[in-house]
Amino acid sequence: MFDFSLMGQRLGGPSGISELMDDLGHALAQGGPDVKMLGGGQPAHIEPIDARWRERFREMLENRDEFDRAVGNYDPPRGNPGFIDALAGLLRREFGWDIGSDHIAVTAGGQTAFFFLFHLLAGEMPDGRLKKILLPLVPEYIGYANQSVRNEMFRAHPPRIEWIGDHEFKYRVDFDTLEVADDIAAICVSRPTNPTGNVLTDEEIEKLAVIASQHGIPLIIDNAYGAPFPNIIFTDTKPIWHEHLILTLSLSKLGLPGTRTGIIVAHPKITAAIANMSAVVGLSNPNVGQAMVRPMLESGEILSLSNDVVRPYYLNKSRFAQHCVKDAFGDRFPYRIHRSEGALFLWLWFPDLPIKSKELYERLKKRGVLIISGHYFFFGLEGRDSWSHQHECLRMTFTMPEQVVADGIRIIAEEVEMAWRSSGNV
Ligand SMILES: Cc1ncc(COP(=O)(O)O)c(C=O)c1O
């Protein structure tokens, strides 16, 4: 009955991320207690962290002025000035970055930060050229894939695959073949990477930053899981920032996804534009997360919570899941785990898997195990449809209780073995 615009069709039509979230949400709602939910990106409820948020909320309620301002006021579109000053202070104090409040803008979650950044930098330019975002390594975060309001926005570069031992591997940026063409507006990576748990090394980041500045374009580093908070990074890395870098942060994986708080740290020209976009799209941003966290930025507690509670919690979860995989998979079929260097996921690769990962997902779903088929995370690859690796991987979240993770992995092993047996190749 009603016609939709091209933009309406792109954003309002079905997309990988909306189908996936819907599928997972319904399966969870209807699946009952037996569903093994290894699919979503939901952070764990870590009791000491949840307790700290409850305590902060009580403090805010008791200090009436703080609560009334948080829920009863519109903040400026750039974000709450007290929060921004506190964050700039922390970044100067702890890392020596030359950052003032004009280098920071708040958004309604990290997802919105990316929508704004991609459209600020890429798309149709004043001279009519179309610019794209370069992903120097895929698989990459599926949440970027459908954000473009017009044409395809991403050009992705396949990685170099490094085999480690019998059952591990790691993706590396393939600098030998990486090309930054004239139509590239920015380079973007998530670090740690969703879905793989890869953490690009300091050298890789430094090299990308040099390439970006040589081309006069920014390097966007998505720190949704990264430094300085929530710092779900298991390798030794150094947080960096300078004016050619755009860092995004989020309070979500610190246990506050419901507050929808994203942060951009960038050149003032970028943050001013983001603040203007926030005003147009949403007037101002959600205040509550900023109010809860502000004193913890001032005291530095946000870093100790990240380093002493959040990171070790997920490191243990990752180790447990890897142990279960080794135990359950044994030598039953070929598999490799991406080296787990951060974030909330294990990325499993089944070389030469006789069925596509989407089919494996369907079979697992029938058995009550929800994972995400890896093919969703390979987007922006021009002319690489025949790359079978895209259909041989899956992402599983390891944040659930141990029994759920162990049972889920046991069932994954059974289904993969079954696929091999029915292909007659085992
Ligand atoms: C890599 C990555 N970036 C950004 C986001 C967006 O998170 P939020 O909008 O909750 O800040 C996510 C969410 O899971 C993510 O995994």
**Rounded to whole angstroms, how far apart are CA atoms 347 and 345?**
6
Ligand 1 mean position, distance from CA 238 (Å): 21
* 204 lies in some domain: yes
- Do residues 339 and 222 both lie within one domain? no
Looking at 304, 322, 347, the residue that finishes a domain is 304
Per-residue pLDDT at 25: 76
Per-residue pLDDT at 382: 81
Ligand 1 pocket check for 237: Cβ under 6 Å = no
Contact 160, 197 (CB under 8 A): no
Ligand 1 mean position, distance from CA 224 (Å): 5
Ligand 1 mean position, distance from CA 234 (Å): 19
Q: Does residue 219 sit in helix, strand or coil? A: strand
Q: Which helix (H) or strand (E) holds 210?
A: helix 202-214
- Do residues 313 and 297 both lie within one domain? no
Per-residue pLDDT at 426: 62
- Do residues 323 and 391 both lie within one domain? yes
Per-residue pLDDT at 74: 96
Query: What is the span of the domain harbouring residue 12?
Result: 6-48+307-422
Ligand 1 nearest atom to the CA of residue 114, by list position:
4
CA angle 93, 97, 101 (to 5 degrees): 85
Ligand 1 mean position, distance from CA 17 (Å): 12
Ligand 1 nearest atom to the CA of residue 41, by list position:
14
Ligand 1 mean position, distance from CA 423 (Å): 38
What's the whole-model pTM score?
0.95
* 390 lies in some domain: yes
- Do residues 236 and 322 both lie within one domain? no
- Do residues 284 and 348 both lie within one domain? no
Ligand 1 pocket check for 194: Cβ under 6 Å = yes
* 84 lies in some domain: yes
Ligand 1 pocket check for 252: Cβ under 6 Å = yes
- Do residues 191 and 261 both lie within one domain? yes
- Do residues 348 and 241 both lie within one domain? no
* 292 lies in some domain: yes
User: Which CATH number goes with the domain that contains 13?
Assistant: 3.40.640.10
- Do residues 266 and 381 both lie within one domain? no
Ligand 1 pocket check for 142: Cβ under 6 Å = no
* 133 lies in some domain: yes
Ligand 1 pocket check for 109: Cβ under 6 Å = yes
How many domains are there within the chain? Answer: 2
Q: Which of 115, 137, 194 to mutate to test the pocket of ligand 1 (most atoms within 8 A of CB)?
A: 194
**Rounded to whole angstroms, how far apart are CA atoms 131 and 129?**
6
Residue having the nearest C-alpha atom to atom 3 of ligand 1: 224
* 64 lies in some domain: no
- Do residues 192 and 104 both lie within one domain? yes
* 244 lies in some domain: yes
- Do residues 373 and 395 both lie within one domain? yes
Q: Which helix (H) or strand (E) holds 269?
A: helix 268-282
Ligand 1 mean position, distance from CA 20 (Å): 15
Ligand 1 mean position, distance from CA 142 (Å): 10
- Give the closest residue to 363 by CA, choosing from 299, 419, 318: 419
- Do residues 123 and 256 both lie within one domain? yes
* 85 lies in some domain: yes
Question: Could you tell me the strand order of the sheet in which 372-373 lies?
Answer: 160-164, 168-172, 336-338, 345-349, 393-397, 372-373
Other C-beta atoms closer than 10 Å to the C-beta of 243 total: 14
Ligand 1 mean position, distance from CA 195 (Å): 11
Looking at 282, 304, 326, the residue that finishes a domain is 304
- Do residues 27 and 131 both lie within one domain? no
Would you give per-residue pLDDT tens digits along the chain (426 residues)?
899 998 888 888 877 777 777 777 777 677 667 888 898 888 999 999 999 999 999 999 999 899 999 999 999 999 999 999 999 999 999 999 999 999 999 999 999 999 999 999 999 999 999 999 999 999 999 999 888 887 789 999 999 999 999 999 999 999 999 999 999 999 999 999 999 999 999 999 999 999 999 999 999 999 999 999 999 999 999 888 888 999 999 999 999 999 999 999 999 999 999 999 999 999 999 999 999 999 999 999 999 999 999 999 999 999 999 999 999 999 999 999 999 999 999 999 999 999 999 999 999 999 999 999 999 999 999 877 789 999 999 999 999 999 999 999 999 999 999 999 998 776
Looking at 286, 304, 322, the residue that finishes a domain is 304
Ligand 1 pocket check for 190: Cβ under 6 Å = yes
Helix axes 268-282, 110-121, angle to 10 degrees: 110
Per-residue pLDDT at 26: 76
Ligand 1 mean position, distance from CA 63 (Å): 31
Q: Which of 20, 107, 111 to mutate to test the pocket of ligand 1 (most atoms within 8 A of CB)?
A: 111
